[in-house]
Structure 1
Amino acid sequence: MGASEELEYLKSLVAKLNEKIRSLESKPSAGPTPATQLRTILMGPPGAGKGTQAPRIKDEFCVCHLATGDLLREQVNQQTPLGVAAKKIMDAGGLVSDDIMVGIIQDQLDNNKECKNGFVLDGFPRTVPQAQKLDGMLESRKETLNSVVQMQIDDQLLISRITGRLIHPSSGRTYHREFHPPKKPMVDDVTGEPLIQRSDDNVETLRKRLGAFHSQTGPVVDYYKAKGLWHGIDAAQSPPVVWENLRKIFVGGAGKQ
């Protein structure tokens, strides 16, 4: 091959490479694949710190926080088909069916853009049948859970935490009389509005709630342990230490399918 022929060959090669580069650059980014997403469940009794850690997980990993109690209220308020069905059941004094709850979660995964990288699920599943229905729904989406994290804390410590809890109703900000008091007693630091103590944040009610939680969720923990997804976290530690332990689980397990 002469010098001129070699030059022409190299020019054509460069042209083809430039065309390929332009083609790749013009394609929209596919975004994270399921292998890099985070799909996790946060379990724990009331007051264990789920409400503190879940927003941080949401921000750090760019996933949606699905607190099923809040989602249910939202669907009812917006009078969606699922919300209307749920309200009929609740008005009759019944429990909302597992199918409706899984439908509400699926609706979020389908339509909430924040869920495109995954989710942190809070408040569901509470029973093994619910866990099985959740698995089935995720399987239909060709997705699986990466982890199930149980925030563990002694009941007596939990009771002392919750009975001192103060809440700013409109924002959900929480304080504690002893561990995290507001700057002015019973007043929100940000808005200056009054804080409240929830009527069910008393010792007798809490003991009942904790008893129900342990008896109900014990089998769910065993279900996820058998699948190799369960992780336990000591929730009695300070929130920054709890966060570091959570983060290690998610960074280590986010790539699992």
Structure 2
Amino acid sequence: MKLTVLGSGTMTSPPKRTPAGYLLEHNDDYLLVDMGPGIIRQLKCMEIDLLHIKYIAISHFHLDHCSDLMAFLMNRFLLQENANQDLTIFGPTGLEAWFSAQAQWQGAWLHNARPRLIAFDHQPVQLGSWQIIAALNGHTDNSMSFRIANGATLFYSSDTGFQEELVPLARDVDLAIIECSLPDHLKIDGHLTPSDVARFSNLAKLQRVLATHIYPQNDTPDLKQRIQRHFDGEVIIANDFLTLYL
């Protein structure tokens, strides 16, 4: 499995950090996880054929995780009129209502070639060769974290506060993508700090952690060291276009 970080930042991040987005590849099969503003540009910078992406997983409906989705669909339509019929989107409970609310302002280009929508219902989901197990994480009423398997295993926290209930979802994966929004002294509900990341990683027996969703206040040269004060595993600080192999 190949992972490319498309967006490692937040809405308030400088241009070097685009809001959330991650591209997974396995044997020429693509899964796009979250689509914050700027993710289409990142894909084009990588010269990725947008028509080749067949599967998208959206963790929640905050704009820094999903605002590029409609633009992505229009881009695909302009490249190939019926392309979106071949696309599957997995998302939170309420996905159909959320999508319909966005779609009502669009024209026949979208209504005549809608993607397949799969809403969270507490069951594993198979998207092509990708298996996703999702769990609610408390960031919003319907926000999700993912365990993704395709040859290797990956945990994606998305936005979340410390939730010990998520430990089984992450346990012993090959790589955990964990948000690390703010420093410990600026901790807020619904987001993790370096000590939270370390505590969760120890409970889940993780060996390799990718810290991401980094606010400017936490984006300092010692971020890795602040996590490693309490965690002995490998810590990688995400940057846009960072590529890892699992």
Q: Report if TM-score (shorter chain) is over 0.5.
A: no
- The structure whose Rg is larger is 1
With the length of structure 2 as denominator, give the TM-score of the two structures: 0.32
**Using CA pairs below 8 Å that are at least 6 residues apart, which structure has the higher relative contact order?**
1
The TM-score with structure 1 as length reference comes to 0.31
Q: Which has the higher helix share?
A: 1
